Chain A
Amino acid sequence: MFKAFAKGLSITFKHMLPGHSVTVQYPHVKLKPSDRFRGLHRLVPAHDREKCVACYLCPTVCPAKCITVESAENAKGEKYPRIYEIDMLRCIFCGYCVEACPVEALEMTGAYELANYRRSDFVFTKERLLK
Protein backbone atom coordinates (compact mmCIF):
# COMPACT_ATOMS: atom_id res chain seq x y z
CA MET A 1 0.00 0.00 0.00
CA PHE A 2 2.71 2.46 0.98
CA LYS A 3 4.70 1.51 -2.10
CA ALA A 4 1.72 2.49 -4.23
CA PHE A 5 1.43 5.82 -2.38
CA ALA A 6 5.10 6.54 -2.98
CA LYS A 7 4.78 5.62 -6.64
CA GLY A 8 1.84 7.95 -7.11
CA LEU A 9 3.64 10.79 -5.36
CA SER A 10 6.77 10.25 -7.46
CA ILE A 11 4.75 10.37 -10.68
CA THR A 12 3.13 13.70 -9.80
CA PHE A 13 6.47 15.07 -8.64
CA LYS A 14 8.17 14.10 -11.88
CA HIS A 15 5.46 15.84 -13.86
CA MET A 16 5.98 19.01 -11.87
CA LEU A 17 9.61 19.31 -12.95
CA PRO A 18 10.26 21.83 -15.75
CA GLY A 19 9.67 20.74 -19.31
CA HIS A 20 6.53 18.69 -18.71
CA SER A 21 4.00 21.40 -19.42
CA VAL A 22 2.20 21.12 -22.72
CA THR A 23 0.41 24.46 -22.42
CA VAL A 24 0.71 26.95 -25.28
CA GLN A 25 0.31 30.49 -23.97
CA TYR A 26 -2.25 31.11 -26.69
CA PRO A 27 -2.63 34.83 -27.36
CA HIS A 28 1.13 35.32 -26.89
CA VAL A 29 2.25 32.15 -28.66
CA LYS A 30 0.32 30.73 -31.59
CA LEU A 31 0.55 27.28 -33.03
CA LYS A 32 1.15 27.14 -36.76
CA PRO A 33 -1.39 24.75 -38.27
CA SER A 34 -0.21 22.18 -40.80
CA ASP A 35 -0.41 22.89 -44.55
CA ARG A 36 -3.45 20.65 -44.83
CA PHE A 37 -5.35 22.66 -42.23
CA ARG A 38 -8.78 23.78 -43.44
CA GLY A 39 -9.12 27.36 -42.27
CA LEU A 40 -10.39 30.53 -43.89
CA HIS A 41 -10.86 30.35 -47.71
CA ARG A 42 -8.83 32.37 -50.12
CA LEU A 43 -9.57 33.19 -53.75
CA VAL A 44 -6.39 32.73 -55.73
CA PRO A 45 -5.54 35.78 -57.86
CA ALA A 46 -4.26 35.49 -61.44
CA HIS A 47 -2.41 38.33 -63.25
CA ASP A 48 -5.08 41.00 -63.26
CA ARG A 49 -8.11 39.32 -61.69
CA GLU A 50 -9.18 36.29 -59.70
CA LYS A 51 -8.69 32.84 -61.23
CA CYS A 52 -12.33 31.98 -60.63
CA VAL A 53 -14.41 31.48 -63.76
CA ALA A 54 -17.78 31.46 -61.96
CA CYS A 55 -18.68 27.90 -62.94
CA TYR A 56 -20.99 27.42 -59.92
CA LEU A 57 -19.43 24.08 -58.94
CA CYS A 58 -18.52 25.25 -55.44
CA PRO A 59 -22.00 26.48 -54.39
CA THR A 60 -23.41 23.29 -55.92
CA VAL A 61 -21.17 20.96 -53.94
CA CYS A 62 -21.32 23.01 -50.70
CA PRO A 63 -23.25 20.95 -48.12
CA ALA A 64 -23.81 24.00 -45.92
CA LYS A 65 -25.05 26.19 -48.77
CA CYS A 66 -22.83 29.03 -47.67
CA ILE A 67 -21.37 30.15 -51.01
CA THR A 68 -23.09 32.76 -53.15
CA VAL A 69 -21.84 33.27 -56.70
CA GLU A 70 -23.18 35.49 -59.47
CA SER A 71 -21.40 35.34 -62.79
CA ALA A 72 -20.84 38.10 -65.33
CA GLU A 73 -18.78 38.68 -68.43
CA ASN A 74 -15.96 41.18 -68.63
CA ALA A 75 -14.81 43.23 -71.61
CA LYS A 76 -12.65 40.36 -72.96
CA GLY A 77 -15.67 38.08 -72.91
CA GLU A 78 -14.36 36.00 -69.97
CA LYS A 79 -16.70 34.76 -67.28
CA TYR A 80 -15.92 36.08 -63.84
CA PRO A 81 -17.78 36.17 -60.47
CA ARG A 82 -19.48 39.52 -60.08
CA ILE A 83 -20.39 38.47 -56.54
CA TYR A 84 -18.50 35.80 -54.62
CA GLU A 85 -19.46 35.51 -50.95
CA ILE A 86 -18.86 32.87 -48.30
CA ASP A 87 -20.89 33.01 -45.10
CA MET A 88 -18.43 31.81 -42.45
CA LEU A 89 -21.22 31.31 -39.93
CA ARG A 90 -22.67 28.58 -42.13
CA CYS A 91 -19.42 27.15 -43.47
CA ILE A 92 -18.41 23.80 -41.97
CA PHE A 93 -14.87 23.92 -43.37
CA CYS A 94 -15.27 20.61 -45.20
CA GLY A 95 -13.13 21.73 -48.13
CA TYR A 96 -15.46 20.31 -50.81
CA CYS A 97 -15.47 23.67 -52.61
CA VAL A 98 -11.69 23.49 -52.96
CA GLU A 99 -11.91 19.91 -54.23
CA ALA A 100 -14.66 20.78 -56.70
CA CYS A 101 -12.95 23.80 -58.25
CA PRO A 102 -11.77 22.89 -61.77
CA VAL A 103 -9.33 25.81 -62.08
CA GLU A 104 -7.84 25.74 -58.56
CA ALA A 105 -9.14 29.21 -57.94
CA LEU A 106 -10.05 28.50 -54.32
CA GLU A 107 -7.84 27.31 -51.47
CA MET A 108 -7.95 27.08 -47.73
CA THR A 109 -5.45 28.91 -45.52
CA GLY A 110 -4.26 28.36 -41.96
CA ALA A 111 -6.20 31.31 -40.56
CA TYR A 112 -8.37 30.10 -37.71
CA GLU A 113 -9.02 33.26 -35.67
CA LEU A 114 -12.33 34.16 -37.26
CA ALA A 115 -14.16 35.72 -34.31
CA ASN A 116 -15.96 38.98 -35.00
CA TYR A 117 -18.43 41.40 -33.48
CA ARG A 118 -21.25 41.56 -36.06
CA ARG A 119 -22.95 38.81 -37.97
CA SER A 120 -22.47 40.78 -41.19
CA ASP A 121 -18.71 40.66 -40.64
CA PHE A 122 -18.78 36.90 -41.08
CA VAL A 123 -19.92 37.17 -44.69
CA PHE A 124 -16.66 37.32 -46.59
CA THR A 125 -16.93 39.21 -49.86
CA LYS A 126 -14.79 38.68 -52.93
CA GLU A 127 -12.42 41.49 -51.95
CA ARG A 128 -11.81 40.02 -48.50
CA LEU A 129 -11.37 36.51 -49.90
CA LEU A 130 -8.80 37.75 -52.41
CA LYS A 131 -6.48 39.06 -49.70
Chain B
Amino acid sequence: MPMLSLSNAPLLFLGIMLAKILAVFVVVILIVAYATWLERKVIGHMQARLGPMETGWHGLLQPIADGLKLFFKEDIIPSQASKVPFILAPMMILVPAFITVAVIPFGPDIVIGGYQVPMQIADLNVGILYILAMAGLGVYGIVLAGWSSNSKYSLLGGIRASAQMISYELAAGLAIVSVFMLAETLSLRGIVAAQMTPLWGVIDFLPNWYIFSQPLAFALFVVTGIAEINRTPFDLPEAESELVSGFCTEYSSMKYALFFMAEYANMVVLSAIATTLFLGGWHGPFPGAINILLKVFCFMFFFIWLRATFPRVRYDQLMHMGWKVFLPLALANIVVTAVVVLLQQ
Protein backbone atom coordinates (compact mmCIF):
# COMPACT_ATOMS: atom_id res chain seq x y z
CA MET B 1 0.00 0.00 0.00
CA PRO B 2 1.49 3.37 -0.97
CA MET B 3 2.27 5.96 1.66
CA LEU B 4 0.11 9.08 1.32
CA SER B 5 2.25 11.95 0.07
CA LEU B 6 1.92 15.30 -1.62
CA SER B 7 2.75 13.78 -5.01
CA ASN B 8 0.21 10.92 -5.18
CA ALA B 9 -2.89 12.63 -3.68
CA PRO B 10 -2.26 16.33 -3.04
CA LEU B 11 -5.76 17.34 -1.89
CA LEU B 12 -6.26 14.37 0.40
CA PHE B 13 -2.76 14.88 1.77
CA LEU B 14 -3.44 18.54 2.47
CA GLY B 15 -6.77 17.82 4.15
CA ILE B 16 -5.43 15.05 6.34
CA MET B 17 -2.37 17.11 7.20
CA LEU B 18 -4.49 20.04 8.33
CA ALA B 19 -6.71 17.70 10.34
CA LYS B 20 -3.69 16.14 12.02
CA ILE B 21 -2.12 19.51 12.82
CA LEU B 22 -5.39 20.79 14.25
CA ALA B 23 -5.94 17.65 16.33
CA VAL B 24 -2.41 17.63 17.75
CA PHE B 25 -2.48 21.37 18.44
CA VAL B 26 -5.81 21.19 20.23
CA VAL B 27 -4.72 18.21 22.30
CA VAL B 28 -1.46 19.89 23.28
CA ILE B 29 -3.24 23.14 24.20
CA LEU B 30 -5.75 21.17 26.28
CA ILE B 31 -2.99 19.26 28.04
CA VAL B 32 -1.17 22.54 28.68
CA ALA B 33 -4.31 24.15 30.11
CA TYR B 34 -5.19 21.22 32.33
CA ALA B 35 -1.57 20.66 33.35
CA THR B 36 -1.84 23.97 35.22
CA TRP B 37 -4.95 22.68 36.96
CA LEU B 38 -3.32 19.33 37.71
CA GLU B 39 -0.23 21.04 39.04
CA ARG B 40 -2.23 23.21 41.43
CA LYS B 41 -4.31 20.25 42.57
CA VAL B 42 -1.42 17.82 43.05
CA ILE B 43 0.85 20.31 44.77
CA GLY B 44 -2.08 21.44 46.88
CA HIS B 45 -2.80 17.93 48.08
CA MET B 46 0.88 17.24 48.66
CA GLN B 47 0.95 20.31 50.89
CA ALA B 48 -2.19 19.18 52.78
CA ARG B 49 -4.38 21.72 50.95
CA LEU B 50 -7.08 21.17 48.37
CA GLY B 51 -6.03 23.42 45.50
CA PRO B 52 -8.68 25.16 43.37
CA MET B 53 -12.18 24.13 44.46
CA GLU B 54 -14.52 27.01 43.62
CA THR B 55 -14.46 27.39 39.83
CA GLY B 56 -16.46 24.46 38.59
CA TRP B 57 -16.44 20.97 40.08
CA HIS B 58 -13.16 20.68 42.03
CA GLY B 59 -11.89 23.75 40.21
CA LEU B 60 -12.09 22.15 36.76
CA LEU B 61 -12.90 25.48 35.09
CA GLN B 62 -9.89 27.17 36.69
CA PRO B 63 -7.70 27.12 33.54
CA ILE B 64 -10.47 28.86 31.60
CA ALA B 65 -10.91 31.46 34.33
CA ASP B 66 -7.15 32.03 34.46
CA GLY B 67 -6.97 32.37 30.70
CA LEU B 68 -9.83 34.87 30.60
CA LYS B 69 -8.30 36.87 33.42
CA LEU B 70 -4.91 37.09 31.75
CA PHE B 71 -6.51 37.89 28.42
CA PHE B 72 -8.37 40.91 29.78
CA LYS B 73 -5.49 42.27 31.83
CA GLU B 74 -3.77 45.48 30.86
CA ASP B 75 -0.76 44.84 28.66
CA ILE B 76 2.13 46.83 30.12
CA ILE B 77 5.35 47.46 28.19
CA PRO B 78 7.95 49.18 30.37
CA SER B 79 8.93 52.58 28.95
CA GLN B 80 12.64 51.71 29.07
CA ALA B 81 12.22 48.31 27.40
CA SER B 82 13.27 47.61 23.81
CA LYS B 83 9.84 47.24 22.27
CA VAL B 84 10.43 44.88 19.36
CA PRO B 85 12.42 42.20 21.20
CA PHE B 86 10.11 42.60 24.18
CA ILE B 87 7.10 41.72 22.04
CA LEU B 88 8.99 39.11 20.05
CA ALA B 89 10.36 37.16 23.03
CA PRO B 90 7.15 35.42 24.20
CA MET B 91 6.47 34.24 20.68
CA MET B 92 10.02 33.03 20.25
CA ILE B 93 9.74 30.91 23.35
CA LEU B 94 6.30 29.46 22.60
CA VAL B 95 6.75 28.60 18.93
CA PRO B 96 9.71 26.20 19.30
CA ALA B 97 7.91 24.53 22.18
CA PHE B 98 4.86 23.83 20.03
CA ILE B 99 6.45 22.93 16.69
CA THR B 100 8.56 20.23 18.30
CA VAL B 101 5.38 18.18 18.63
CA ALA B 102 5.28 17.87 14.83
CA VAL B 103 7.73 14.95 14.79
CA ILE B 104 6.18 12.96 17.64
CA PRO B 105 4.43 9.83 16.31
CA PHE B 106 1.20 9.25 18.22
CA GLY B 107 -0.33 6.11 16.78
CA PRO B 108 -0.04 3.28 14.26
CA ASP B 109 -0.54 4.00 10.57
CA ILE B 110 -4.13 4.09 9.40
CA VAL B 111 -5.57 3.54 5.91
CA ILE B 112 -7.58 6.34 4.30
CA GLY B 113 -8.71 6.15 0.66
CA GLY B 114 -6.29 3.35 -0.19
CA TYR B 115 -3.28 5.19 1.16
CA GLN B 116 -1.27 4.54 4.26
CA VAL B 117 -1.40 7.58 6.57
CA PRO B 118 1.19 7.89 9.34
CA MET B 119 -0.11 9.21 12.65
CA GLN B 120 2.58 11.84 12.86
CA ILE B 121 2.56 15.34 11.43
CA ALA B 122 5.98 15.09 9.79
CA ASP B 123 8.26 12.07 9.67
CA LEU B 124 11.61 13.85 9.37
CA ASN B 125 14.56 11.58 8.72
CA VAL B 126 16.51 13.84 11.11
CA GLY B 127 13.73 13.89 13.73
CA ILE B 128 15.94 13.91 16.81
CA LEU B 129 18.24 16.57 15.41
CA TYR B 130 15.16 18.68 14.69
CA ILE B 131 14.05 18.30 18.30
CA LEU B 132 17.48 19.28 19.60
CA ALA B 133 17.57 22.26 17.24
CA MET B 134 14.17 23.48 18.43
CA ALA B 135 15.21 23.01 22.05
CA GLY B 136 18.23 25.16 21.25
CA LEU B 137 15.99 27.87 19.79
CA GLY B 138 13.95 28.05 22.97
CA VAL B 139 16.78 29.77 24.83
CA TYR B 140 16.62 32.80 22.53
CA GLY B 141 13.14 33.69 23.73
CA ILE B 142 14.24 33.66 27.36
CA VAL B 143 17.45 35.60 26.74
CA LEU B 144 15.61 38.19 24.64
CA ALA B 145 12.91 38.53 27.28
CA GLY B 146 15.50 39.00 30.00
CA TRP B 147 17.56 41.49 28.06
CA SER B 148 14.84 43.57 26.44
CA SER B 149 12.94 44.12 29.72
CA ASN B 150 15.77 46.39 30.90
CA SER B 151 15.40 45.21 34.49
CA LYS B 152 18.10 43.69 36.66
CA TYR B 153 16.04 40.69 37.71
CA SER B 154 15.02 39.91 34.16
CA LEU B 155 18.60 40.23 32.97
CA LEU B 156 19.89 37.92 35.72
CA GLY B 157 17.16 35.43 34.87
CA GLY B 158 18.04 35.59 31.19
CA ILE B 159 21.75 35.10 31.86
CA ARG B 160 21.09 32.16 34.13
CA ALA B 161 18.70 30.65 31.61
CA SER B 162 21.18 30.84 28.77
CA ALA B 163 24.01 29.37 30.85
CA GLN B 164 21.79 26.61 32.17
CA MET B 165 20.10 25.68 28.92
CA ILE B 166 23.33 25.59 26.95
CA SER B 167 25.06 23.43 29.57
CA TYR B 168 22.23 20.97 29.85
CA GLU B 169 21.38 20.82 26.19
CA LEU B 170 24.79 19.27 25.65
CA ALA B 171 24.26 16.53 28.22
CA ALA B 172 20.68 15.91 27.06
CA GLY B 173 21.79 15.66 23.43
CA LEU B 174 24.62 13.29 24.28
CA ALA B 175 22.34 11.16 26.46
CA ILE B 176 20.12 10.28 23.50
CA VAL B 177 22.99 9.58 21.10
CA SER B 178 23.06 6.03 22.48
CA VAL B 179 19.39 5.62 21.51
CA PHE B 180 19.95 6.22 17.87
CA MET B 181 23.10 4.11 17.98
CA LEU B 182 20.82 1.22 18.96
CA ALA B 183 17.96 2.13 16.61
CA GLU B 184 20.29 3.01 13.73
CA THR B 185 17.91 5.76 12.65
CA LEU B 186 17.19 9.39 13.57
CA SER B 187 13.56 9.20 12.52
CA LEU B 188 11.23 9.00 15.53
CA ARG B 189 8.92 6.71 13.56
CA GLY B 190 11.84 4.36 13.03
CA ILE B 191 12.80 4.54 16.71
CA VAL B 192 9.27 3.60 17.80
CA ALA B 193 9.22 0.77 15.28
CA ALA B 194 12.57 -0.49 16.62
CA GLN B 195 11.12 -0.60 20.12
CA MET B 196 8.21 -2.87 19.19
CA THR B 197 10.31 -6.02 18.84
CA PRO B 198 10.80 -8.41 21.80
CA LEU B 199 13.34 -7.21 24.35
CA TRP B 200 16.90 -7.78 23.05
CA GLY B 201 15.36 -10.08 20.45
CA VAL B 202 14.91 -12.89 23.00
CA ILE B 203 12.53 -11.92 25.85
CA ASP B 204 8.99 -12.28 24.48
CA PHE B 205 6.88 -10.75 27.21
CA LEU B 206 8.69 -7.42 27.33
CA PRO B 207 8.96 -4.90 24.49
CA ASN B 208 12.36 -3.65 23.40
CA TRP B 209 11.83 -0.25 25.01
CA TYR B 210 15.13 1.54 25.27
CA ILE B 211 14.61 2.22 28.96
CA PHE B 212 15.62 -1.42 29.52
CA SER B 213 18.82 -1.27 27.48
CA GLN B 214 19.62 2.38 28.30
CA PRO B 215 18.47 3.09 31.87
CA LEU B 216 21.35 5.53 32.48
CA ALA B 217 20.62 7.43 29.27
CA PHE B 218 16.94 7.60 30.26
CA ALA B 219 17.71 8.98 33.71
CA LEU B 220 20.22 11.46 32.29
CA PHE B 221 17.81 12.61 29.61
CA VAL B 222 14.93 13.14 32.03
CA VAL B 223 17.05 15.04 34.58
CA THR B 224 18.88 17.17 32.03
CA GLY B 225 15.59 17.67 30.20
CA ILE B 226 13.99 19.06 33.35
CA ALA B 227 16.98 21.36 33.72
CA GLU B 228 16.72 22.45 30.11
CA ILE B 229 13.07 23.42 30.34
CA ASN B 230 13.77 25.27 33.62
CA ARG B 231 11.46 23.22 35.81
CA THR B 232 11.92 22.92 39.55
CA PRO B 233 14.34 21.93 41.07
CA PHE B 234 16.27 23.64 38.26
CA ASP B 235 14.07 26.74 37.96
CA LEU B 236 16.87 29.21 38.57
CA PRO B 237 15.94 31.51 35.66
CA GLU B 238 12.63 32.38 37.26
CA ALA B 239 13.64 31.71 40.88
CA GLU B 240 10.76 33.46 42.59
CA SER B 241 12.49 33.90 45.92
CA GLU B 242 15.61 35.47 44.40
CA LEU B 243 14.71 37.09 41.09
CA VAL B 244 11.07 38.10 41.59
CA SER B 245 10.00 36.17 38.50
CA GLY B 246 13.23 36.04 36.50
CA PHE B 247 13.05 36.73 32.80
CA CYS B 248 9.28 37.30 32.80
CA THR B 249 9.24 39.83 35.68
CA GLU B 250 8.21 42.74 33.47
CA TYR B 251 5.62 40.85 31.47
CA SER B 252 1.90 41.04 32.02
CA SER B 253 -1.35 40.07 30.36
CA MET B 254 -1.28 37.67 27.41
CA LYS B 255 2.49 37.95 26.99
CA TYR B 256 2.93 36.52 30.45
CA ALA B 257 0.38 33.84 29.59
CA LEU B 258 2.51 32.89 26.60
CA PHE B 259 5.53 32.31 28.87
CA PHE B 260 3.33 30.28 31.16
CA MET B 261 2.00 28.22 28.28
CA ALA B 262 5.52 27.74 26.93
CA GLU B 263 6.66 26.32 30.25
CA TYR B 264 3.91 23.72 30.24
CA ALA B 265 4.19 23.07 26.52
CA ASN B 266 7.88 22.36 27.09
CA MET B 267 6.95 19.89 29.80
CA VAL B 268 4.51 18.15 27.47
CA VAL B 269 7.06 18.04 24.68
CA LEU B 270 9.81 16.75 26.95
CA SER B 271 7.44 14.04 28.21
CA ALA B 272 6.49 13.12 24.67
CA ILE B 273 10.13 12.95 23.54
CA ALA B 274 11.22 10.89 26.53
CA THR B 275 8.25 8.60 25.92
CA THR B 276 9.06 8.20 22.24
CA LEU B 277 12.76 7.62 22.73
CA PHE B 278 12.75 5.40 25.79
CA LEU B 279 9.26 4.12 26.54
CA GLY B 280 8.17 2.88 23.14
CA GLY B 281 6.11 5.93 22.12
CA TRP B 282 2.55 4.92 21.25
CA HIS B 283 3.41 1.23 21.61
CA GLY B 284 1.66 -0.42 24.54
CA PRO B 285 -1.36 -2.37 25.71
CA PHE B 286 -4.01 0.21 24.76
CA PRO B 287 -5.08 1.39 21.30
CA GLY B 288 -2.71 3.89 19.66
CA ALA B 289 -2.72 7.41 21.00
CA ILE B 290 -4.02 6.42 24.47
CA ASN B 291 -0.66 4.84 25.28
CA ILE B 292 1.36 7.94 24.56
CA LEU B 293 -1.16 10.15 26.36
CA LEU B 294 -0.97 7.93 29.42
CA LYS B 295 2.82 7.94 29.41
CA VAL B 296 2.89 11.71 28.94
CA PHE B 297 0.47 12.06 31.85
CA CYS B 298 2.73 9.95 34.05
CA PHE B 299 5.69 12.14 33.17
CA MET B 300 3.72 15.30 33.86
CA PHE B 301 2.70 13.92 37.23
CA PHE B 302 6.30 13.06 37.95
CA PHE B 303 7.46 16.59 37.11
CA ILE B 304 4.79 18.08 39.35
CA TRP B 305 5.71 15.61 42.08
CA LEU B 306 9.33 16.70 41.81
CA ARG B 307 8.28 20.32 42.13
CA ALA B 308 6.36 19.59 45.31
CA THR B 309 9.31 17.70 46.79
CA PHE B 310 12.70 19.20 46.02
CA PRO B 311 14.10 22.66 46.76
CA ARG B 312 15.92 24.63 44.09
CA VAL B 313 19.59 23.80 43.49
CA ARG B 314 22.20 26.51 43.86
CA TYR B 315 23.75 28.02 40.75
CA ASP B 316 27.22 26.53 41.36
CA GLN B 317 25.67 23.14 42.13
CA LEU B 318 23.78 23.34 38.87
CA MET B 319 26.90 24.08 36.84
CA HIS B 320 28.89 21.46 38.73
CA MET B 321 26.24 18.82 38.03
CA GLY B 322 25.86 19.74 34.40
CA TRP B 323 29.51 19.81 33.41
CA LYS B 324 31.18 17.48 35.90
CA VAL B 325 28.55 14.81 36.46
CA PHE B 326 26.00 14.58 33.66
CA LEU B 327 28.29 15.34 30.74
CA PRO B 328 30.99 12.75 31.63
CA LEU B 329 28.26 10.19 32.41
CA ALA B 330 26.61 10.81 29.06
CA LEU B 331 29.96 10.49 27.26
CA ALA B 332 30.81 7.30 29.14
CA ASN B 333 27.37 5.92 28.25
CA ILE B 334 28.04 6.59 24.57
CA VAL B 335 31.44 4.86 24.71
CA VAL B 336 30.06 1.79 26.47
CA THR B 337 27.08 1.57 24.12
CA ALA B 338 29.35 1.98 21.09
CA VAL B 339 31.66 -0.80 22.26
CA VAL B 340 28.74 -3.14 22.94
CA VAL B 341 27.11 -2.39 19.58
CA LEU B 342 30.43 -2.93 17.82
CA LEU B 343 31.06 -6.24 19.58
CA GLN B 344 27.59 -7.50 18.66
CA GLN B 345 28.11 -6.97 14.95
Contact = CB atoms under 8 A, between A and B. Distances in A.
B50 A20 contact: no
A16 B50 contact: no
Interface in A103-124: none
Contacts of A25: 50, 53
Contacts of A11: 309
A9 B53 CA distance: 25
A8 to B, nearest CB: 5
Contacts of B305: 9, 12-13
Among B46, B50, B305: residue with most chain A CB under 10 A: B46
B125 interface: no
A21 B309 contact: no
Among A15, A16, A21, A25: residue with most chain B CB under 10 A: A16
Interface residues of A, number: 13
A23 B48 CA distance: 7
Interface string B93-116: 000000000000000000000000
Contacts of B306: 9
Nearest to B42: A16
A124 to B, nearest CB: 32
B47 interface: yes
Nearest to A15: B46
Interface string A8-43: 110111011000111101000000000000000000
Interface in A23-77: 23, 25
B46 A21 contact: no
A15 B50 contact: no
B45 interface: yes
B49 interface: yes
A21 B42 contact: no
Contact of A12 (B49, B53, B309): B309
B308 A21 contact: no
Contacts of B45: 15-16, 20-21
Interface string B284-316: 000000000000000000000110111000000
Contacts of B310: 5, 8
7 contacts: A9-B306, A12-B305, A13-B46, A20-B45, A22-B48, A22-B49, A25-B50
Given A8-B310, A9-B305, A21-B45, 11 more contacts: A9-B306, A11-B309, A12-B46, A12-B309, A13-B305, A15-B45, A16-B42, A21-B44, A22-B49, A25-B50, A25-B53
Which 9 A-B pairs have CB atoms at the shortest separation, nearest pair first? A16-B45, A12-B46, A12-B309, A23-B50, A16-B46, A8-B309, A12-B308, A15-B46, A22-B48
Interface of A: 5, 8-9, 11-13, 15-16, 20-23, 25
